[in-house]
Amino acid sequence: MADVFAIVIASPRMWRWLKNSWHELDREAELARSADGASAPDAALQAQAATEPPARQILLCAAVLMALAFGVGDRPFFEAELAPRLRSLAGPAAAGWFHAYGTLLSYGYWAVSVLFLYGLLPALHLTRLGEPLGAIGLRLPRGDRLPIRHVYLLFFVLLFPALVLLSRTASFQQTYPFYSDAGRSLPELVCWELLYASTFLAIEFFFRGYLLFGLFPRLGSLAIFVSALPYCLIHIGKPASEMLGSIAAGILLGTLALRSGSIWGGVGLHAGVALSMDLLSLWQSGRLARLLH
């Protein structure tokens, strides 16, 4: 997915649009700071004094939340520390249930952790800073500047043929769905997809809501690049092309989010691609047909 963003962002027409967007966004941020009370001749000093503490708070809290997400919010921590205790508390009678659904439970723990650390806590922090939820990307896209839905739909259309081709490979079918037993029953597939989709809402909010919209009044278009850095870091361990492509994806999705005033396009794109990958894998391996019979 990230490779497509790298190709798109390299086109001259898209690059011109991005640069013009960044200039416009910088003017918006400057006007917003002026409206907060900064006035000549000491406007710059007042704006700096008013915006530095919230920016420091957001960046520090983001670092702590990401460390917690990787340290105690992921499946390895659950399986090493919590699952044995849960099995012990449940007793021998529940051994069969844990054997059948323990992996799904670990994914549930991961999804709830992502929602809490990347979604709920950052949203609470921004509201404590006086930011209304509608101003941090949770409103519907604005239609006055950009046909935003068409842009996200275009990306999905560009991605889908590549996904169909990739889904024919054995490595793809062995990797997706991440929850390997999703093809065992329809209720398990639905449960997994709901958990998986919820993580995209939280992750998009964290990088394109909390960091991007939270820092935008303070940093202007620079917030796009600040939020793209940690977004790239969560792709460490994936193929080099995907890691590099995630930089382009972070810049492009960040610009689109600010121009539209909303993160929902990015949420829909990520969730749609993830669902397509899982269903294509199940279809190619014949498991989807068995589920639907």
Q: CB–CB of 155/253 below 8 Å?
A: no
pLDDT one-digit tens code per residue, 13-55: 776 877 888 888 888 887 776 766 544 444 443 444 444 568 8
Q: Tell which wins on pLDDT, 274 or 237.
A: 274
Please give the Cα distance from 40 to 38 (Å, whole number). Answer: 7
**Residues 183, 184, 190, 196, CA torsion sign:** negative
Digit-coded pLDDT (tens) for 58-105: 999 999 999 999 999 999 999 999 999 999 988 888 888 888 899 999
Domain segments of the chain as ranges: 2-11+49-292
What's 203's DSSP letter?
H
CB 99: neighbour CB atoms within 10 A? 10
Q: Which range, of 88-92, 111-115, 211-215, averages the lowest pLDDT?
A: 88-92
Q: Which of 132-141, 182-191, 236-245, 272-281 has the lowest mean pLDDT?
A: 236-245
> Are the C-beta atoms of 265 and 257 separated by less than 8 Å?
yes
Are the C-beta atoms of 111 and 196 separated by less than 8 Å? Answer: yes
Q: Tell me the percentage of the chain whose pLDDT exceeds 90.
A: 47
Which residue in 144, 189, 151, 204 sits closest to 5, CA to CA? 151
Who has greater pLDDT, 176 or 40? 176
| Nearest partner of 256 among 131, 138, 143, 146, judged by Cα | 146
The three-point CA angle 10-13-14 to 5° equals: 55
Residue 262 DSSP one-character state: B
Separation CA 253–CA 265 (nearest Å): 9
Mean pLDDT within 184-206: 95
- Whether residue 242 contacts residue 3, with contact meaning beta carbons closer than 8 Å, is answered with yes
Q: Which two tokens stand for residue 62?
A: 């983001």
The H or E element that residue 17 is part of is helix 12-35
Residues in contact with 167: Cβ distance below 8 Å, sequence separation at least 6, in sequence order: 173, 176, 277, 280, 281, 283, 284
pTM: 0.82
Q: Is the predicted pLDDT of residue 183 greater than 60, yes or no? A: yes
First to last CA, the chain: 31
Question: What would the mean pLDDT of 196-219 be, rounded to a whole number?
Answer: 93
Q: Lowest mean pLDDT of 32-41, 162-171, 179-188, name the range.
A: 32-41
* pLDDT of residue 119 exceeding 80: yes
